[in-house]
Amino acid sequence: MSTLVECAQQRADEDVERLIAWTQVETPTGDRAALDGFATRVAAEAGAFGATSRRVALPSGDALVLELAGRGPWAHEAPAVLLAHHDTVHPVGSLAGTVPLRRDGDVLSGPGVFDMKGGLVAALSAFALIDGHDHRPVKLLLTPDEEIGSPSSAATVVAEATGAAYVLGLEPPHPDGALKTSRMGSTRWQLAVTGRASHAALDPGAGINAIDELIDQLLIVRALTARYPQVLANTGVIDGGGRTNVVPDAARAVIGLRFVDQATETAVLAELAELAPIRTGAVLEPSVLTRRPAWGPSAATEALLASVAGAGAHIAQQISGRAATGAADTNLTGGAGIPSLDGFGPMGAGAHAVTEHVLLSSITQRAALLAAVLGSV
């Protein structure tokens, strides 16, 4: 294990160079050409460490599956699955604008360095560290739409993780470096309202104001969610109408909902599906755009955390874990009952913000931890 740490430290410069090079390739969600090109690059670089690759074609871009065959006594064990994504929230042009790539000692700033290309670099570094050593089979899944709730890749995540010994997410850890042992469920829910247009002054009674209907419905939604104190609801999008002299015939809102458990999620979504129009003739269309189920605490996760902490102790790392509020693809695997832990990415801060940055030395630490886990858990 001491050799493992030394080898990880010897790889530090190469890891930094890789992260800088990857960050210079902007990969915003929805830019299929950029995402697929980046996946091709990752596959080629992982191939140098013995990984085979295959693609899963999805509407938002290809998912990339990298696989390492097991070695030694672990060769025929169930695989470990690593979850990552290559889409970022930062649009093309961020490097030349509000989120430039810059290094200040141990801190590297730039779009996606923390969420989550730094974690992906740590994973490839771990591939290099276990090359030639005994380890269980490894599968790394890279998805193209995690930042918008994995609408096209969720089924692929669950399918690829089914039968795994455990799942490790490469998302950022808690600010103190702790791993994430559970996550709130996250649902993007939309309410679309169809009314009827008319002249707002000459014939207002002939119209059905979709915006007014939407406002009244949102007040109902607010009262509904308030009955569940642990539910978080954020109205993040509202649009509709176009002219003040026209009664608007369409409006919609998108609400982000967070749930601590699947039972509460089921109950709230069932109530939302039963909303009824207030105005005669108005039509409501509630729909779930994306859904990640709540991933609650479990004995399996606690056992996995204990094993990971044991592997960390062998390389002089003190590992802890606790619940997280944010959602990620580990919601899908943890919610499906597959032992899962998240937060194996490097430390930093500013995810999704112009201040996004990563601590470069923590990439080395995370790579060593991943290699220790894959070789002993």
Task: Look up the CATH number of the domain holding residue 250.
Answer: 3.30.70.360
Largest Cα–Cα distance in the chain? Answer: 82
CB distance 315 to 368 below 8 Å:
yes
Q: How many CB atoms lie within 10 A of CB 63?
A: 25
Assess whether 7 and 144 both reside in one domain. Answer: yes
Please, what is the average pLDDT of the chain?
96
Last residue within a domain, chosen from 261, 292, 323: 292
Domain residue limits at 271: 185-292
pLDDT score for 38: 98
Asked if residue 112 and residue 33 are part of one domain, the reply reads: yes
Q: What mean pLDDT do residues 67-74 have?
A: 96
In this structure, are strands 185-194 and 250-259 parallel, antiparallel, or unpaired? Answer: antiparallel
Q: How many domains does the chain have?
A: 2
**45-53, long-range: CB within 8 Å, 24+ apart, which pairs?**
45/18, 45/124, 46/124, 46/127, 46/140, 49/124, 49/127, 49/128, 49/131, 50/127, 50/131, 51/127, 51/140
23 plus 60 within the same structural domain: yes
Q: Are residues 189 and 179 in the same domain?
A: no
In the chain, the N- to C-terminal Cα span, in Å, equals 14
Closest CA to 86 of 16, 143, 133: 143
Q: Average of pLDDT values for 340-356?
A: 97
228 and 268 fall within a common domain: yes
The pTM for the full model equals: 0.91
Q: Is the pLDDT of residue 64 over 80?
A: yes
Q: Which is it for strands 232-240 and 250-259: parallel, antiparallel or unpaired?
A: antiparallel
**Final residue before a domain boundary, out of 292, 312, 336:** 292
Helix, strand, coil abundance in the chain, percent, nearest 5? 35, 25, 35
User: pLDDT digits over 205-231, tens only?
Assistant: 999 999 999 999 999 999 999 999 999
Q: Is 103 helix (H, G, I), strand (E, B) or coil?
A: strand
Q: Give CA–CA dist 171/174, Å, rounded.
A: 10
Three-state SS for 233-262 is: EEEEEEEECCCCCEECCEEEEEEEEEECCH
What CATH number does residue 361 fall under? 3.40.630.10
- The mean per-residue pLDDT over the stretch 253-277 comes to 96
Average pLDDT over residues 290-297: 93
Which of 292, 313, 328 is where one domain is finished? Answer: 292
Q: What's the average model confidence in pLDDT over 36-40?
A: 98
For 133-184, write each residue's pLDDT tens digit: 999 999 999 999 999 999 999 999 999 999 999 999 999 999 999 999 999 9
- Percentage of residues in the chain having pLDDT higher than 90: 98
pLDDT of residue 2: 63
Are 39 and 131 within one domain?
yes
**C-alpha of 366 from chain center:** 18
Nearest to 345 by CA among 38, 175, 122, 45: 122
Give the number of other Cβ atoms within 10 Å of residue 318's Cβ.
9
Whether the predicted pLDDT of 1 surpasses 70:
no
Q: Is the pLDDT of residue 312 over 80?
A: yes
